[in-house]
Amino acid sequence: MLFGVSHRTLAFGLALASAVAAQDGVNKFTGTRASASDQTSAAVSTPTAPSISFEMRADIMMARKMYREALDFYKQAPQTSPVVLNKMGIAHHQLTELHLAKRCYEQAAKLKPDYAEAINNVGTIYYAQKSYRRAITTYKKALEYSPTSASMLMNLGTAYFARKNYDLAFTAYQDALKLDPEVFEHRGTNGTLLQERSVEERAKFHFYLARTYAKAGANERALMYLRKALEEGFKERDKIMSGSEFTALREMDEFKVLMAMEQKVL
């Protein structure tokens, strides 16, 4: 399972994570070793560090990809908070505990029916279970509450792609890229919104990303994804050589070299 979290980072939590990192440096200097909970407590006890909640401590653990420890802290935070429940779902999701993740997302959405991020995350569970039709329906519901979310549009496109509805996927990808030119490049590890990255047809997926970037005039990135598509076995060269999106790309020397090298391999 390959998924990432959107670029909406928890800035305050990451600042506190820096304090924890500083404490790590002290521990290394003195030759002592502390547990994750001890490290967090040590960071909190420093004169310059603010008092932090269990949720914030959990966010620090999430930033460190210590998902089990994060859950321990989230469980001590108010369980009536839809944000906390959604974050718990993400921690379970990262641990591939999908049934527990789904339960948390659904509880969050029940407490806050217009919580688009939690609804989106339910969609990622359906996607992981290959229930692509249900994933599409769920992503569309999330977009009703957050119509300008590039990440949700990207997820919708990927679900369409999985059902081989390539034209609809291409349209969704274009809409996502217009809202956020970096949407396909985010690799964050903190936040409240999951982005689905797992696809079976990697070569074709990268070809469609190349088309999306080429359509937007981002030729360097289009070329990068086109190279990935070819390396992964994309064989439909006629679509590359005749596609209107690639007109400008075909004038680039890098494109000509890439296609010449690929032709030799074939």
20-29 pLDDT, tens per residue?
444 443 333 3
CATH superfamily of the domain spanning 3-48+65-196 = Tetratricopeptide repeat domain (1.25.40.10)
Side chain identity, residue 109: A
How far apart (Å, rounded) are the C-alpha atoms in residues 121 and 138?
9
Q: Examine the pLDDT at 224 and tell me if it is beyond 50.
A: yes
Q: Is the dihedral of CA 119, 193, 130, 72 positive or negative?
A: negative
List, in sequence order, the alpha helices (H) in the chain.
Answer: 11-30, 36-45, 54-63, 67-74, 82-94, 98-111, 116-128, 132-145, 150-162, 166-179, 202-215, 219-231, 237-242, 253-265
Cα distances (Å, whole numbers) of residue 39 to 17, 95, 217: 10, 22, 47
Q: Which residue has the higher pLDDT, 195 or 6?
A: 195
**Which residues of the chain does CATH 1.25.40.10 include?**
3-48+65-196
Instruction: Report pLDDT for 50.
Output: 63
Query: Mean pLDDT of all residues in the chain?
Result: 84
**What's the token pair of residue 84?**
């906390």
Q: How does residue 195 score in pLDDT terms, banded at 50, 70 and 90?
A: confident
Question: How far is residue 202's CA from residue 233's CA, in Å, rounded to a whole number?
Answer: 9
- Look at residues 107, 32, 97 and name the one whose alpha carbon lies nearest to residue 70: 97
Residue 192: count of CB within 10 angstroms of its CB: 21
In contact, 58 and 71? CB cutoff 8 Å? yes
Residue 195: its H or E element? strand 194-196
129 pLDDT tier (thresholds 50, 70, 90)? very high
**Length of the chain as a residue count:** 266
The residue assigned the tokens 């029916």 is: 113
Cβ atoms within 10 Å of 188's Cβ, excluding its own = 15
pLDDT of 111 = 98
User: How far is the CA of 166 from the CAs of 95, 131, 207, 208, in angstroms?
Assistant: 31, 17, 11, 8
Q: Are 3 and 124 in contact (CB under 8 A)?
A: yes
Q: Tell how far CA 164 is from the center of its chain.
A: 21
Say if strands 194-196 and 3-5 run parallel, antiparallel, or are unpaired: antiparallel
**Whole-angstrom distance, CA of residue 181 vs CA of residue 150:** 9
Q: How confident is the model at residue 193 (pLDDT cuts 50, 70, 90)?
A: confident
